[in-house]
């Protein structure tokens, strides 16, 4: 009889660092490596437990004096877009989205750099090179895909790969209970298109089509304006000490 057991993941704690979301706070994270044949299974379990993935690392906040970071997942089957969201869908009806393997391209990196230089000049990713970007996309032991959003050109959808201008990109994990939006970026000059909103709506529709329940959005941080958009997609659940609970939109502002 084989009595050998599968090794359990080893967890580590980072040193304190300045919180990028709340002024005056310090952050710490607990993390583990997602490698080996059980990486996809472990990614599912950890994401459902409030972790996020970055390359082959799964992490979650472990701050000593703050609990502002809350894991959020949209209940895709019950979601109905608000009037403003329906306008976003109509505005972007000329976009064609293509799901493909997790492979980087020069075109993607060019758009990624435009996005960072416009929106996140002082962020932790601001100095990423083409090699760094390639690693971010490819360094995954789980079921990861890239979704490209392009302006529709004559002939697109009939045959071949869409040829229109690349407007947005999403790096997405395909999980057993839904989709997890790992990272997304878009053309910052097309503000009227609300491409960030459009990509989330597209992920909700894809999750519905797959017959799966959840779209994982990562962390909502109460008090951080840059994270406020995540509570717009209702109904949604927040991970609490009691487990996943239906969020109250009136409270979470």
* pLDDT tens for each residue of 51-61: 999 999 999 99
The domain total for the chain is 2
Q: What integer pLDDT is reported at residue 109 of this predicted model? A: 97
Q: What integer pLDDT is reported at residue 159 of this predicted model? A: 58
Say if 2 falls within a structural domain: no
Q: Are residues 53 and 150 in the same domain?
A: no
Sequence-distant (6+) residues with CB within 8 A of 69 are 21, 61, 63, 219, 220, 221
Count CB neighbours of 166 within 10 A.
17
The C-alpha atoms of residue 13 and residue 220 are separated, in whole angstroms, by 21
Examine the fold and report which residue of 70, 92, 114 is the final residue of a domain before the chain moves on. 70
Beta strands 57-61; 95-101: pairing state: unpaired
Say if 251 falls within a structural domain: no
Beta strands 214-221; 178-186: pairing state: parallel
Say if 133 falls within a structural domain: yes
**192: containing domain:** 73-246
Q: Are residues 213 and 161 in the same domain?
A: yes
Report the predicted TM-score, pTM, of the whole model to 2 decimal places: 0.90
Sequence-distant (6+) residues with CB within 8 A of 223 are 21, 22, 68
For the chain, strand residue ranges (E) read: 12-13, 17-18, 26-27, 29-33, 52-54, 57-61, 69-75, 95-101, 144-151, 166-175, 178-186, 214-221, 236-240, 243-246
Q: Are residues 171 and 234 in the same domain?
A: yes
Q: Are residues 88 and 213 in the same domain?
A: yes
Q: Are residues 29 and 54 in the same domain?
A: yes
Q: What integer pLDDT is reported at residue 5 of this predicted model? A: 45
From 205, 203, 187, select the one nearest 195 (Cα to Cα): 187
Q: Which residues of the chain have pLDDT under 50?
A: 1-5
Q: Are residues 23 and 104 in the same domain?
A: no
Q: What integer pLDDT is reported at residue 124 of this predicted model? A: 61
């Amino acid at each position: 009889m084989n009595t050998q057991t599968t090794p359990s993941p080893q967890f580590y704690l980072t040193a304190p660092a300045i919180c990028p979301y709340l002024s005056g706070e310090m952050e710490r994270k607990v993390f583990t490596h997602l490698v080996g044949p059980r990486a996809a299974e472990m990614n599912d379990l950890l994401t459902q437990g409030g972790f996020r993935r970055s390359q082959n690392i799964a992490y979650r906040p472990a701050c000593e004096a703050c609990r502002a970071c809350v894991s959020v997942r949209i209940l895709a089957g019950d979601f109905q877009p608000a009037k403003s969201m329906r306008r976003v869908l109509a505005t972007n009806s000329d976009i064609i989205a293509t799901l493909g393997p997790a492979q980087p391209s020069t075109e993607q990196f060019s758009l990624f750099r435009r996005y960072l230089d416009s929106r996140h000049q002082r962020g932790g990713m601001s100095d990423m090179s083409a090699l760094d970007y390639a690693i971010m996309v490819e360094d995954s032991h789980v079921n990861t895909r890239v979704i490209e959003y392009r302006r529709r050109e004559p002939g697109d959808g009939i045959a071949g790969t869409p040829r229109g201008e690349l407007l947005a990109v999403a790096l997405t994990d395909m999980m057993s209970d839904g989709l997890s939006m790992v990272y997304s970026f878009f053309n910052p000059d097309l503000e009227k298109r609300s491409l960030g909103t459009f990509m989330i709506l597209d992920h909700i529709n894809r999750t519905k089509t797959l017959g799966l329940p959840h779209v994982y959005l990562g962390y909502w941080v109460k008090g951080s304006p840059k994270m406020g958009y995540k509570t717009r997609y209702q109904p949604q659940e927040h991970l609490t000490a009691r487990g996943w609970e239906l969020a109250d939109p009136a409270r979470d502002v």
